[in-house]
Amino acid sequence: MKHLLLAATVLGLAGTIGAAGAGPLTSDSIDIWNAMTSGGSGGAGQQGLPNATFAFGGPLFEITSPTGLQSYSHPINYNDGTDATIGGFFTTVPLPVPGSCTGACPGTTISQGSFNQATVMEFRFTIPIEGTVTFTHDDGISLFTMGNEGTGDATNDLFKGAAAAPQALGDRPPDVIFLAAGTYDLWYNESNGLPAVLETDYVPIPAPLIGHGLLALLAIGGVLFGGKLLETFKARDLHTA
């Protein structure tokens, strides 16, 4: 019985190791655009797609400096319901404002009601082990394998545009997708006022037997064999006493 309990303990440890790494995704880098917008909820500038920035006027409204993706390694897990600025989106969590967001960037209004102002952010992140990722967001998002945005529409979007339209938090379930190991570009559009929510939950698949799973099985075998050997010695000692 003791050996079965020990084996169960080792199996439990193996399961814990297999689930290690679950939690928010961590970004590698970030870029930010912001502009006054129009066209209501259907306007191009309100969609969580790369080409929303075309409605912003391109790099003219890319307010991170220097322009382009800049290193920013922090959890993608934002929920801002109190501060309507780009800086507040990060610090409310709290996390630091990206180093490339300087000058007027931190104090810039992140979005306004009636779809009059919006912010688009591009987060690049890396999946070390294939697994399931859940995205909870207000407003739209899209997801691409790194650099595969094409013309910026939903053609190469892994969600096929289904998650790109602005939405109020809770209007529909979070978006869930299984991703292979690799690097991805996540585009997020915050429009129509607070809240500004972008939360992720990454659950890697359990490790296969070749790896720590195999080690766990070997450990179980060692526990059972060692216990049996100990019982044999005890029986022999009792017999010769």
At 231 the pLDDT is 56
Residues of CATH 2.60.120 domain(s) within the chain?
27-204
Q: At 99, phi and psi to the nearest 5? A: -60, -25
Percent pLDDT > 70 in the chain is 76
pLDDT tens-place string over residues 146-201: 999 999 999 999 999 999 999 998 888 999 999 999 999 999 999 999 999 999 99
pLDDT at 134 over 90: yes
Q: What DSSP letter does each residue of 72-104 carry, written as one string?
A: --SB-EEEESS--BHHHHHHTTT-PPPTT--TT
Question: What architecture (CATH level 2) is domain 27-204?
Answer: Sandwich (2.60)
Structural element, H or E, at residue 190: strand 182-191
- Is the CB of residue 135 less than 8 Å from the CB of residue 178? no
| Strand ranges, E, within 37-174 | 70-71, 77-80, 117-127, 131-138, 141-145
Tens digit of each residue's pLDDT (9 = 90 or more) over 69-97: 999 999 999 999 999 999 999 999 999 99
DSSP conformation class of 211: I
How do residues 38-72 score in pLDDT, each as one tens digit? 999 999 999 999 999 998 876 668 888 777 899 99
